[in-house]
Protein backbone atom coordinates (compact mmCIF):
# COMPACT_ATOMS: atom_id res chain seq x y z
CA UNK A 1 0.00 0.00 0.00
CA UNK A 2 1.17 3.52 -0.76
CA UNK A 3 1.50 6.00 2.09
CA UNK A 4 -1.14 8.24 0.44
CA UNK A 5 -3.48 5.88 -1.42
CA UNK A 6 -5.94 7.52 -3.83
CA UNK A 7 -9.41 8.29 -2.51
CA UNK A 8 -10.95 9.05 -5.92
CA UNK A 9 -12.61 5.75 -6.74
CA UNK A 10 -13.85 5.31 -10.31
CA UNK A 11 -16.90 3.19 -10.95
CA UNK A 12 -16.60 4.04 -14.66
CA UNK A 13 -12.86 3.61 -15.19
CA UNK A 14 -10.86 6.19 -17.11
CA UNK A 15 -9.25 3.59 -19.37
CA UNK A 16 -12.72 2.75 -20.69
CA UNK A 17 -13.88 6.35 -21.18
CA UNK A 18 -10.67 7.29 -23.04
CA UNK A 19 -12.09 5.49 -26.07
CA UNK A 20 -14.39 8.51 -26.52
CA UNK A 21 -11.65 11.12 -26.06
CA UNK A 22 -10.88 13.63 -28.79
CA UNK A 23 -7.59 15.21 -29.78
CA UNK A 24 -7.69 17.27 -26.58
CA UNK A 25 -7.74 14.07 -24.51
CA UNK A 26 -11.24 14.88 -23.24
CA UNK A 27 -14.66 13.29 -23.56
CA UNK A 28 -18.00 15.08 -23.65
CA UNK A 29 -19.82 14.51 -20.37
CA UNK A 30 -23.58 15.06 -20.20
CA UNK A 31 -25.41 15.56 -16.93
CA UNK A 32 -29.02 16.51 -16.24
CA UNK A 33 -29.15 18.40 -12.94
CA UNK A 34 -32.70 19.60 -13.61
CA UNK A 35 -34.74 19.70 -16.81
CA UNK A 36 -32.01 20.37 -19.36
CA UNK A 37 -28.79 18.52 -20.01
CA UNK A 38 -25.44 20.20 -19.39
CA UNK A 39 -22.49 19.25 -21.59
CA UNK A 40 -18.83 19.85 -20.87
CA UNK A 41 -15.47 18.61 -22.07
CA UNK A 42 -13.64 16.75 -19.34
CA UNK A 43 -10.67 14.45 -18.86
CA UNK A 44 -11.74 10.81 -18.40
CA UNK A 45 -10.17 10.57 -14.95
CA UNK A 46 -12.17 13.60 -13.74
CA UNK A 47 -15.57 11.95 -14.04
CA UNK A 48 -17.31 8.66 -13.23
CA UNK A 49 -15.97 8.50 -9.69
CA UNK A 50 -16.94 9.10 -6.08
CA UNK A 51 -14.62 10.05 -3.28
CA UNK A 52 -13.94 7.14 -0.90
CA UNK A 53 -16.56 4.96 -2.55
CA UNK A 54 -14.83 1.69 -1.65
CA UNK A 55 -13.19 2.89 1.55
CA UNK A 56 -13.03 0.41 4.42
CA UNK A 57 -14.55 2.15 7.41
CA UNK A 58 -12.88 1.57 10.75
CA UNK A 59 -9.39 1.16 9.24
CA UNK A 60 -6.27 3.27 9.49
CA UNK A 61 -6.03 5.78 6.59
CA UNK A 62 -3.09 3.92 5.07
CA UNK A 63 -5.18 0.72 4.89
CA UNK A 64 -8.68 2.06 4.28
CA UNK A 65 -8.29 2.22 0.47
CA UNK A 66 -7.15 -1.36 -0.04
CA UNK A 67 -10.33 -2.39 -1.90
CA UNK A 68 -9.45 0.15 -4.58
CA UNK A 69 -5.72 -0.56 -4.51
CA UNK A 70 -5.74 -4.35 -4.25
CA UNK A 71 -8.96 -5.28 -6.04
CA UNK A 72 -10.24 -2.69 -8.49
CA UNK A 73 -6.89 -1.33 -9.65
CA UNK A 74 -5.59 -4.72 -10.87
CA UNK A 75 -9.05 -5.67 -12.16
CA UNK A 76 -9.15 -2.53 -14.31
CA UNK A 77 -5.55 -2.91 -15.44
CA UNK A 78 -6.20 -6.44 -16.72
CA UNK A 79 -9.48 -5.32 -18.30
CA UNK A 80 -7.67 -2.49 -20.08
CA UNK A 81 -5.33 -5.02 -21.66
CA UNK A 82 -8.31 -7.16 -22.69
CA UNK A 83 -10.04 -4.15 -24.25
CA UNK A 84 -6.94 -3.40 -26.30
CA UNK A 85 -7.09 -6.97 -27.63
CA UNK A 86 -10.74 -6.55 -28.57
CA UNK A 87 -9.95 -3.34 -30.45
CA UNK A 88 -7.05 -4.88 -32.34
CA UNK A 89 -8.43 -8.31 -33.12
CA UNK A 90 -12.23 -8.20 -32.79
CA UNK A 91 -13.75 -11.68 -33.08
CA UNK A 92 -10.30 -13.19 -33.49
CA UNK A 93 -8.79 -11.90 -30.23
CA UNK A 94 -6.20 -14.42 -28.96
CA UNK A 95 -7.82 -15.08 -25.60
CA UNK A 96 -6.33 -17.20 -22.86
CA UNK A 97 -8.10 -18.09 -19.62
CA UNK A 98 -6.64 -15.11 -17.75
CA UNK A 99 -7.47 -12.43 -20.33
CA UNK A 100 -10.93 -13.81 -21.00
CA UNK A 101 -11.74 -13.95 -17.28
CA UNK A 102 -10.35 -10.43 -16.86
CA UNK A 103 -12.85 -9.07 -19.36
CA UNK A 104 -15.72 -11.03 -17.82
CA UNK A 105 -14.86 -9.72 -14.35
CA UNK A 106 -14.87 -6.18 -15.70
CA UNK A 107 -18.34 -6.66 -17.20
CA UNK A 108 -19.66 -8.00 -13.90
CA UNK A 109 -17.97 -5.22 -11.95
CA UNK A 110 -19.82 -2.60 -14.00
CA UNK A 111 -23.07 -4.15 -12.76
CA UNK A 112 -22.01 -4.11 -9.10
CA UNK A 113 -19.62 -1.25 -8.35
CA UNK A 114 -21.70 1.93 -8.74
CA UNK A 115 -22.45 4.13 -5.71
CA UNK A 116 -25.99 2.87 -5.14
CA UNK A 117 -24.73 -0.72 -5.45
CA UNK A 118 -22.18 -0.22 -2.71
CA UNK A 119 -24.70 1.64 -0.55
CA UNK A 120 -27.31 -1.11 -0.90
CA UNK A 121 -24.79 -3.87 -0.23
CA UNK A 122 -23.31 -2.10 2.79
CA UNK A 123 -26.77 -1.46 4.26
CA UNK A 124 -27.77 -5.10 3.82
CA UNK A 125 -24.47 -6.40 5.14
CA UNK A 126 -24.63 -4.45 8.38
CA UNK A 127 -28.22 -5.52 9.01
CA UNK A 128 -27.44 -9.15 8.17
CA UNK A 129 -24.05 -9.49 9.85
CA UNK A 130 -25.45 -10.32 13.29
CA UNK A 131 -28.23 -12.61 12.02
CA UNK A 132 -27.75 -16.19 13.24
CA UNK A 133 -29.58 -19.50 13.26
CA UNK A 134 -30.23 -22.14 15.92
CA UNK A 135 -27.21 -24.26 15.00
CA UNK A 136 -24.83 -21.29 15.15
CA UNK A 137 -26.26 -20.21 18.49
CA UNK A 138 -25.88 -23.75 19.86
CA UNK A 139 -22.23 -23.92 18.79
CA UNK A 140 -21.60 -20.52 20.36
CA UNK A 141 -23.22 -21.54 23.64
CA UNK A 142 -21.01 -24.63 23.77
CA UNK A 143 -17.88 -22.50 23.41
CA UNK A 144 -18.97 -19.31 25.22
CA UNK A 145 -16.82 -18.07 28.07
CA UNK A 146 -18.14 -16.46 31.24
CA UNK A 147 -17.31 -12.94 30.00
CA UNK A 148 -18.68 -13.41 26.50
CA UNK A 149 -22.03 -11.92 25.36
CA UNK A 150 -25.04 -14.10 26.07
CA UNK A 151 -25.88 -14.83 22.43
CA UNK A 152 -23.94 -15.26 19.23
CA UNK A 153 -26.02 -12.48 17.66
CA UNK A 154 -24.88 -10.11 20.42
CA UNK A 155 -21.29 -11.25 19.93
CA UNK A 156 -21.44 -10.49 16.20
CA UNK A 157 -23.19 -7.16 16.71
CA UNK A 158 -20.39 -6.10 19.04
CA UNK A 159 -17.58 -6.78 16.56
CA UNK A 160 -15.47 -3.77 15.55
CA UNK A 161 -16.56 -1.89 12.45
CA UNK A 162 -13.31 -2.78 10.69
CA UNK A 163 -14.02 -6.51 10.98
CA UNK A 164 -17.53 -6.07 9.58
CA UNK A 165 -16.23 -3.99 6.69
CA UNK A 166 -13.45 -6.44 5.84
CA UNK A 167 -15.84 -9.38 5.70
CA UNK A 168 -18.33 -7.28 3.73
CA UNK A 169 -15.91 -6.68 0.90
CA UNK A 170 -14.72 -10.29 0.93
CA UNK A 171 -18.30 -11.23 0.09
CA UNK A 172 -18.44 -8.41 -2.48
CA UNK A 173 -15.33 -9.81 -4.20
CA UNK A 174 -17.06 -13.17 -4.49
CA UNK A 175 -19.94 -11.54 -6.38
CA UNK A 176 -17.62 -9.99 -8.97
CA UNK A 177 -15.73 -13.30 -9.20
CA UNK A 178 -18.94 -15.36 -9.25
CA UNK A 179 -17.98 -18.71 -10.80
CA UNK A 180 -21.46 -19.53 -12.10
CA UNK A 181 -22.27 -16.21 -13.79
CA UNK A 182 -18.69 -15.55 -14.84
CA UNK A 183 -18.41 -19.06 -16.24
CA UNK A 184 -21.51 -18.54 -18.38
CA UNK A 185 -20.10 -15.33 -19.86
CA UNK A 186 -16.69 -16.92 -20.44
CA UNK A 187 -18.32 -19.75 -22.38
CA UNK A 188 -20.41 -17.48 -24.61
CA UNK A 189 -19.54 -16.59 -28.17
CA UNK A 190 -17.97 -13.14 -28.14
CA UNK A 191 -18.30 -10.75 -31.05
CA UNK A 192 -17.20 -7.20 -31.81
CA UNK A 193 -19.42 -5.16 -34.09
CA UNK A 194 -17.97 -2.20 -35.99
CA UNK A 195 -20.58 0.36 -36.96
CA UNK A 196 -20.61 1.90 -40.46
CA UNK A 197 -19.54 5.51 -41.05
CA UNK A 198 -23.14 6.55 -41.72
CA UNK A 199 -24.27 5.45 -38.25
CA UNK A 200 -24.22 7.76 -35.25
CA UNK A 201 -21.41 7.14 -32.79
CA UNK A 202 -22.03 4.79 -29.90
CA UNK A 203 -22.65 6.59 -26.63
CA UNK A 204 -21.86 5.28 -23.18
CA UNK A 205 -22.94 6.19 -19.67
CA UNK A 206 -22.54 5.36 -16.01
CA UNK A 207 -24.84 2.39 -16.71
CA UNK A 208 -23.23 1.12 -19.91
CA UNK A 209 -24.07 -2.58 -19.80
CA UNK A 210 -26.91 -3.77 -22.04
CA UNK A 211 -28.29 -7.13 -20.95
CA UNK A 212 -31.26 -9.43 -20.85
CA UNK A 213 -32.69 -10.63 -17.53
CA UNK A 214 -30.97 -14.00 -17.90
CA UNK A 215 -28.11 -15.53 -19.83
CA UNK A 216 -29.36 -19.06 -20.55
CA UNK A 217 -32.30 -18.68 -22.91
CA UNK A 218 -32.50 -18.16 -26.66
CA UNK A 219 -31.54 -14.59 -27.49
CA UNK A 220 -30.09 -13.82 -24.05
CA UNK A 221 -27.03 -11.60 -24.28
CA UNK A 222 -24.77 -9.05 -22.63
CA UNK A 223 -23.29 -6.11 -24.52
CA UNK A 224 -21.12 -3.06 -23.93
CA UNK A 225 -20.16 -0.14 -26.20
CA UNK A 226 -16.35 -0.16 -26.23
CA UNK A 227 -15.79 2.92 -28.34
CA UNK A 228 -17.59 5.30 -30.69
CA UNK A 229 -17.57 2.67 -33.45
CA UNK A 230 -17.33 -0.63 -31.56
CA UNK A 231 -19.81 -2.78 -29.66
CA UNK A 232 -18.90 -5.89 -27.68
CA UNK A 233 -21.69 -8.45 -27.55
CA UNK A 234 -21.79 -11.98 -26.15
CA UNK A 235 -24.40 -14.73 -26.23
CA UNK A 236 -24.75 -18.51 -26.16
CA UNK A 237 -27.14 -18.14 -29.10
CA UNK A 238 -25.07 -18.04 -32.29
CA UNK A 239 -28.17 -17.53 -34.38
CA UNK A 240 -28.96 -14.40 -32.40
CA UNK A 241 -25.41 -13.09 -32.84
CA UNK A 242 -25.45 -13.77 -36.57
CA UNK A 243 -28.75 -11.90 -36.76
CA UNK A 244 -27.27 -8.93 -34.91
CA UNK A 245 -24.43 -8.73 -37.40
CA UNK A 246 -26.89 -8.87 -40.32
CA UNK A 247 -29.42 -6.37 -38.98
CA UNK A 248 -29.65 -2.71 -39.97
CA UNK A 249 -26.56 -1.34 -38.26
CA UNK A 250 -27.78 2.25 -38.00
CA UNK A 251 -30.95 1.08 -36.23
CA UNK A 252 -28.85 -1.15 -33.99
CA UNK A 253 -26.59 1.71 -32.90
CA UNK A 254 -29.62 3.89 -32.15
CA UNK A 255 -31.20 1.13 -30.07
CA UNK A 256 -27.98 0.58 -28.10
CA UNK A 257 -27.73 4.31 -27.50
CA UNK A 258 -31.35 4.44 -26.39
CA UNK A 259 -30.80 1.76 -23.75
CA UNK A 260 -27.52 3.24 -22.52
CA UNK A 261 -28.93 6.78 -22.25
CA UNK A 262 -32.33 5.85 -20.82
CA UNK A 263 -30.62 3.68 -18.21
CA UNK A 264 -28.16 6.39 -17.14
CA UNK A 265 -28.10 7.69 -13.58
CA UNK A 266 -25.78 10.73 -13.47
CA UNK A 267 -23.62 10.70 -16.59
CA UNK A 268 -23.81 10.08 -20.33
CA UNK A 269 -20.64 10.27 -22.43
CA UNK A 270 -19.89 10.85 -26.08
CA UNK A 271 -17.25 12.16 -28.46
CA UNK A 272 -19.04 15.47 -28.99
CA UNK A 273 -22.44 17.16 -28.70
CA UNK A 274 -23.83 15.89 -32.00
CA UNK A 275 -26.42 13.73 -30.21
CA UNK A 276 -27.38 16.28 -27.56
CA UNK A 277 -31.07 16.32 -28.57
CA UNK A 278 -31.22 12.52 -28.47
CA UNK A 279 -29.68 12.57 -24.99
CA UNK A 280 -31.93 15.40 -23.77
CA UNK A 281 -35.05 13.46 -24.72
CA UNK A 282 -33.97 10.15 -23.16
CA UNK A 283 -31.59 10.82 -20.26
CA UNK A 284 -32.45 8.51 -17.36
CA UNK A 285 -35.98 7.88 -18.59
CA UNK A 286 -35.84 4.14 -17.83
CA UNK A 287 -33.41 3.59 -14.94
CA UNK A 288 -31.46 0.38 -15.35
CA UNK A 289 -32.44 -2.32 -12.83
CA UNK A 290 -29.38 -2.96 -10.72
CA UNK A 291 -28.03 -6.47 -10.29
CA UNK A 292 -27.05 -5.66 -6.71
CA UNK A 293 -30.65 -4.79 -5.85
CA UNK A 294 -31.82 -8.23 -6.95
CA UNK A 295 -28.96 -9.95 -5.07
CA UNK A 296 -29.73 -8.10 -1.84
CA UNK A 297 -33.48 -8.68 -2.16
CA UNK A 298 -32.95 -12.39 -2.80
CA UNK A 299 -30.80 -12.69 0.31
CA UNK A 300 -33.33 -10.79 2.39
CA UNK A 301 -36.07 -13.11 1.16
CA UNK A 302 -33.96 -16.15 2.04
CA UNK A 303 -33.35 -14.79 5.54
CA UNK A 304 -37.08 -14.16 6.00
CA UNK A 305 -37.93 -17.73 4.96
CA UNK A 306 -35.34 -19.16 7.34
CA UNK A 307 -36.73 -17.07 10.19
CA UNK A 308 -40.20 -18.63 9.86
- Does the residue 59 lie in any domain? yes
- Does the residue 138 lie in any domain? no
- Does the residue 105 lie in any domain? yes
- Does the residue 150 lie in any domain? no
Write the CB contacts of 213 (distance below 8 Å, at least 6 apart in sequence). Answer: 220
- Does the residue 304 lie in any domain? no
- Does the residue 160 lie in any domain? no
- Does the residue 90 lie in any domain? yes
- Does the residue 172 lie in any domain? no
pLDDT at position 210 is: 97
pLDDT at position 2 is: 57
User: Could you tell me the sign of the dihedral formed by the alpha carbons of 99, 14, 2, 52, in that order?
Assistant: negative
pLDDT at position 95 is: 96
Do 193 and 91 form a contact (C-beta atoms < 8 A)? no
| H or E element at residue 254 | helix 249-262
Q: What is the pLDDT along the chain (308 residues), one digit of tens a residue?
A: 555 788 999 999 999 999 999 999 999 999 999 899 999 999 999 999 999 999 999 998 888 999 999 999 999 999 999 999 999 999 899 999 999 999 999 999 999 999 999 999 999 888 888 888 888 899 999 999 999 999 999 999 889 889 888 889 999 999 999 888 899 999 999 999 999 999 999 999 999 999 998 888 999 999 999 999 999 999 999 999 999 989 999 999 999 999 999 999 999 999 999 999 999 999 999 988 888 998 889 888 887 787 66
pLDDT at position 308 is: 67
Number of structural domains (the chain) is: 1
pLDDT at position 265 is: 96
Do 261 and 205 form a contact (C-beta atoms < 8 A)? yes
Range of the domain at 221: 8-118+177-292
What strand order describes the sheet that includes 210-211? 189-194, 230-235, 222-227, 210-211
Cα distances from 65 to residues 1, 44, 68, 91, 221, in angstroms, run 9, 21, 6, 37, 34
Amino acid sequence: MTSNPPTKHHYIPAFYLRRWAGGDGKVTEFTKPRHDIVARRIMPDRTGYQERLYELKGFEPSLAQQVEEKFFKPLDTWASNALTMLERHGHQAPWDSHSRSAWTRFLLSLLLRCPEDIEAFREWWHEDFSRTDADAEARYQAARGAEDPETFAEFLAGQPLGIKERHQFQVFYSLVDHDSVGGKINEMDWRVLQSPPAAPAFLTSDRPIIRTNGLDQEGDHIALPIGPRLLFIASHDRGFLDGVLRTNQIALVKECNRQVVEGASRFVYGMDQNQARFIQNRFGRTPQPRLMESIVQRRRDEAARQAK
